[in-house]
């Protein structure tokens, strides 16, 4: 895969997004030139992954300014449009952080807003590459053996989910580049299959050996000793290390704790929300019932059944062996808390 893959790309007048609802069978893009289209793209998961959503939101401020100029909006209406972008997915704190950062330059005009949005995107790529190195070093030290590692991952955390390179998948790419990766077990990630559709697609582009497995197989794979560590991303991390990530993550963490193998969370510091003391304060997005009651538009559950569809779950910090950011690795389960070290 080209290292230049960008899920979010500013064209000069709008955004081009890789449509992740179409992968892996069709590679298509969505042109975004208005706020409604951007909010819809974020909510439909055309663009997804906390860092990628953050980059899209950052450029969304510029989009709102351009649309406001084109359509004669008042400043108040432009700000209302930005607020809609900011709240499009409530669990992913990167979206709010990045929009708020760009809004600090709102009164300076479009050029300043675009300069700040470009900085958000550039810094995320740099952070991801730093995470890849720190995470690989830490895992190899923990393994204590001079052999390639077997890694399990959940959901998608690669270039598609970020401004470029990847968080958890960036660590995996670094291990592969060093010749220290044997195989990846990619959980399929129900109900929208980000693992089997997106992570597997990225692994194929990189030529990385991998298996796709059902989410329900993950704990057994860990307990049978078939993996050396699990690496996942995050959508929000509380000050005490509690971590919100794609639903199904907490089961992987529990299995790793029982098996005594590392459970590593890879995320930029923009994902750490120091204003949220614990995971109890993280809002968990509930998505539409049809995602779990239907398959490819065909009802699979009885007509009388209701669907419970949380998009995320929260892994307690005591189960997080390591949290890798662009600043290094915190051993959260050993007492190194984000709230103490990342202020």
Contact between 289 and 305 under an 8 Å Cβ cutoff? The reply is no
Separation in Å, CA 168 to CA 87, 180, 182: 25, 15, 16
Listing DSSP states for 143-183 in one string gives H-SSS-EEEEE-S--BGGGSSSSBSHHHHHHHHHHTT-EEE
Question: Which pLDDT score is estimated for 39?
Answer: 97
pLDDT at 4: 65
Cβ-based burial of 299 (10 A; exposed 0-12, middle 13-18, buried ≥19): exposed
Displacement of CA 192 from its chain's centroid (Å): 14
If phi over 0 gives left and psi between -120 and 50 gives alpha, with beta otherwise, what is residue 193? left
Residue 144 is predicted with a pLDDT of 82
Residue tagged 């529990």 (tokens): 254
Select from 163, 94, 167, 161 the least CA-distant residue to 133. Answer: 167
CA angle 160, 19, 289 (to 5 degrees): 100
Q: Are 154 and 195 in contact (CB under 8 A)?
A: yes
**Contacts (Cβ under 8 Å, ≥6 apart) of 193:** none
Q: Residue 298: what pLDDT?
A: 95
What's residue 2's pLDDT? 45
Q: What residues act catalytically?
A: 235
Q: How is domain 127-341 classified at the CATH fold level?
A: Rossmann fold (3.40.50)
pTM of this structure:
0.92
Domain 8-123 falls in which CATH fold? 1.20.120
pLDDT given at position 342: 79
Q: Where are the alpha helices (DSSP H) in the chain?
A: 35-43, 50-71, 75-86, 93-103, 110-143, 168-177, 194, 200-206, 218-223, 249-259, 290-293, 338-341
Q: Which tokens belong to 289?
A: 């019932």
How far apart are alpha carbons 38 and 33 in whole angstroms? 8
Is 8-123's fold the same as 127-341's?
no
Q: What is the pLDDT at residue 305?
A: 98
Query: How far apart are alpha carbons 233 and 263 in whole angstroms?
Result: 11
Ordered by start, the domain boundaries in the chain are 8-123, 127-341
Report whether 86 contacts 99 (CB < 8 A): yes
CA-closest candidate to residue 154, choices 170, 168, 134:
168
Q: Report yes or no: 227 and 293 within 8 Å, Cβ to Cβ.
A: no
For the chain of 343 residues, list the mean pLDDT of each consecutive stretch of 10: 75 95 94 97 94 96 97 97 95 91 96 97 95 97 90 97 95 97 98 97 96 98 98 96 98 98 96 95 95 94 97 98 97 91 77
């Amino acid at each position: 895969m080209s290292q230049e893959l960008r899920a979010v790309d500013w064209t000069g007048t709008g955004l081009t997004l890789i449509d992740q609802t179409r992968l892996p069978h069709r590679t298509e893009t969505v042109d975004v030139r208005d706020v409604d289209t951007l909010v819809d793209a974020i909510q439909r998961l055309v663009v997804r992954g906390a860092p990628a959503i953050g980059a899209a939101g950052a450029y969304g401020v510029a989009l709102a300014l351009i649309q406001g100029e084109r359509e004669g909006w008042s400043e108040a209406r432009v700000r209302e449009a930005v607020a809609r972008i900011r709240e499009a997915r409530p669990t992913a704190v990167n979206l709010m952080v990045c929009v708020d950062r760009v809004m600090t330059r709102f009164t300076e005009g479009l050029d300043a807003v675009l300069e700040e949005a470009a900085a958000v995107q550039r810094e995320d790529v740099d952070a991801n590459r730093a995470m890849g190195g720190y995470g690989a070093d830490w895992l190899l030290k923990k393994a204590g053996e001079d052999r390639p590692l077997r890694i399990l991952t959940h959901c998608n955390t690669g270039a598609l989910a970020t401004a470029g390179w990847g968080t958890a998948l960036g660590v995996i790419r670094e291990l592969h580049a060093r010749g220290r990766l044997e195989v990846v077990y990619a959980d399929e990630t129900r109900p929208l299959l980000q693992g089997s559709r997106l992570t597997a697609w990225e692994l194929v582009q990189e030529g990385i050996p991998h298996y796709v497995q059902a989410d329900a197989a993950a704990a057994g794979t860990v307990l049978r000793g078939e993996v050396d560590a699990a690496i996942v991303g995050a959508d929000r991390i509380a000050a005490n290390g509690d971590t919100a990530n794609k639903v199904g993550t907490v089961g992987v963490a529990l299995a790793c704790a029982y098996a005594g193998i590392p459970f590593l969370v890879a995320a930029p510091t923009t994902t750490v929300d120091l204003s949220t003391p614990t995971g109890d304060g993280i809002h968990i997005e509930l998505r539409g019932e049809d995602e779990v009651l239907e398959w490819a538009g065909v009802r699979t559950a009885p007509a009388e059944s209701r669907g419970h569809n949380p998009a995320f779950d929260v892994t307690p910090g005591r189960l997080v062996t390591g949290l890798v950011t662009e600043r290094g690795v915190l051993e959260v389960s050993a007492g190194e808390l984000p709230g103490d070290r990342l202020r």
